[in-house]
Chain A
């Protein structure tokens, strides 16, 4: 197991005040370990609920195995926890379902998200999975900004979107792969049409 010693925050033991802050240990699916402050974890509704339910003491955190986050790799989790540490203590926005709010991307977030599209995709997925509302907001805003001034064809290239025709073809292929009988029925139907019949009835 590779341990990333305090990749998110540098823990200086001498500088820790008398009342010790709790730092939880998390492990990514590629066995990278991270120490994250209790306050930073509050940015993630999922992790916050998880640690609350576990009820770990400071000793538990050190003695028990790191909490495994099996769906997220170390590279992505590092970005997630860097973001959480930077924004710890900030209010979590509440979506009231009205017209979408204007989202400004702070400088720190912009630098953090200066990454390739593949990693950005993973970051958004992680923010959604861990329910980190503001990280999801800014990362989605970054993706939304990519659409500016683009034609539909350019958007398909940027977002790797299939056209309706490609989508339909993929669905048909998937259906046929799942149900060979469906293909046989379709071929039988086509044959009957060629022979002059309109339907099975």
Chain B
């Protein structure tokens, strides 16, 4: 098959399947990595017994074959997207495509796949979420979080991630160990800061906490006059884990 046709085919492969395509051979890896890929949403969830990478409406679950409980956890998922206010209608979550990768070290396998496209400047994301085991017990977090952050830190600190919305779910104890560099259009906190400055998450959270009420979730709007963009930071503080959310929107009337 002519290489230009292979290029067209790979270009039409959905974002999640590109992870598999790029593992088949050097030439396909080279083609997949050179193409511009825009993702609406990406999330990485790292749990005790399994990890999960969701790209658009496809999901990849990483688990150890021996761990039967992780299989149940990975399959039995529910959502309430059709709920009408007070009466949630829970139903099995339907993924368009669902794949399971069996690996002895599911954390490592998930982070490897995650990093393969995260560091690629041709990939752009609208919504980006990293969940450091928010649904797990605190005991597991204490043991594992440092290890997870250590694995992810080089990725998050060395490379610029092109993202419009970011959500990080983690316990407060991990903030100080992680460094995150934002895209230059996503620095809402201090308009006097130099662009492309590396922000410490610890610093970001302190800024959020400084204004936060003690008993309820916190939301604050920021408006950047220079870029005519508005941002919202939301930090539900009532219980661990803390959610830090940055939303980016452009107003039509501007």
Q: Which A residues have a C-beta under 8 Å from some C-beta of B?
A: 98-100, 103, 121, 124-125, 128, 136-137, 140-141, 143-144, 147-152, 154-156, 159, 161-164, 167
Q: A100 near B35 (CB under 8 angstroms)?
A: yes
CB distance from B191 to the nearest CB of A (A): 31
Q: A151 near B99 (CB under 8 angstroms)?
A: yes
Q: A167 near B25 (CB under 8 angstroms)?
A: yes
For B101, what are the chain A residues with a Cβ–Cβ distance below 8 Å? 151
What is the predominant secondary structure among interface residues of chain A facing chain B? helix
Output the nearest chain A residue to B11 by Cβ-Cβ distance. Answer: A100
The 4 closest A-B pairs by CB, nearest first: A144-B12, A152-B23, A147-B17, A100-B11
Alpha-carbon separation in the docked complex, A103 to B14 (Å): 11
Chain B interface size band reads: 20 to 34
For A137, what are the chain B residues with a Cβ–Cβ distance below 8 Å? 8, 12
Q: A155 near B8 (CB under 8 angstroms)?
A: no
Q: Given A151-B101, A164-B25, is A136 in contact with B20 using a C-beta cutoff of 8 Å?
A: no
For B23, what are the chain A residues with a Cβ–Cβ distance below 8 Å? 152
Of A136, A161, A163, the residue contacting B5 (CB under 8 A) is A136
For A136, what are the chain B residues with a Cβ–Cβ distance below 8 Å? 5, 8
Is B87 part of the binding interface, using a Cβ–Cβ cutoff of 8 Å? no
Alpha-carbon separation in the docked complex, A141 to B12 (Å): 6
- What are 26 of the A-B contact pairs (CB < 8 Å)? A98-B36, A99-B38, A100-B11, A121-B1, A125-B1, A125-B5, A128-B2, A128-B5, A140-B8, A143-B9, A143-B12, A144-B9, A144-B10, A144-B13, A144-B14, A144-B17, A147-B13, A147-B14, A147-B17, A148-B97, A149-B99, A150-B20, A156-B24, A161-B28, A162-B25, A167-B25
Is B21 part of the binding interface, using a Cβ–Cβ cutoff of 8 Å? yes
Alpha-carbon separation in the docked complex, A173 to B8 (Å): 30
Alpha-carbon separation in the docked complex, A137 to B4 (Å): 12
CB distance from A123 to the nearest CB of B (A): 11
Q: Which B residues have a C-beta under 8 Å from some C-beta of A?
A: 1-2, 4-5, 8-14, 17, 20-21, 23-26, 28, 35-38, 58, 97-99, 101
Q: A152 near B5 (CB under 8 angstroms)?
A: no
Alpha-carbon separation in the docked complex, A162 to B20 (Å): 14
Q: A148 near B8 (CB under 8 angstroms)?
A: no
Of A98, A100, A155, the residue contacting B21 (CB under 8 A) is A155
Q: Given A137-B8, A167-B25, is A124 in contact with B17 using a C-beta cutoff of 8 Å?
A: no
For B17, what are the chain A residues with a Cβ–Cβ distance below 8 Å? 144, 147-150
CB distance from A149 to the nearest CB of B (A): 4
CB distance from B226 to the nearest CB of A (A): 27
Alpha-carbon separation in the docked complex, A136 to B5 (Å): 8
For B97, what are the chain A residues with a Cβ–Cβ distance below 8 Å? 148-149
Q: A140 near B9 (CB under 8 angstroms)?
A: yes
Output the nearest chain B residue to A165 by Cβ-Cβ distance. Answer: B25
CB distance from A180 to the nearest CB of B (A): 27
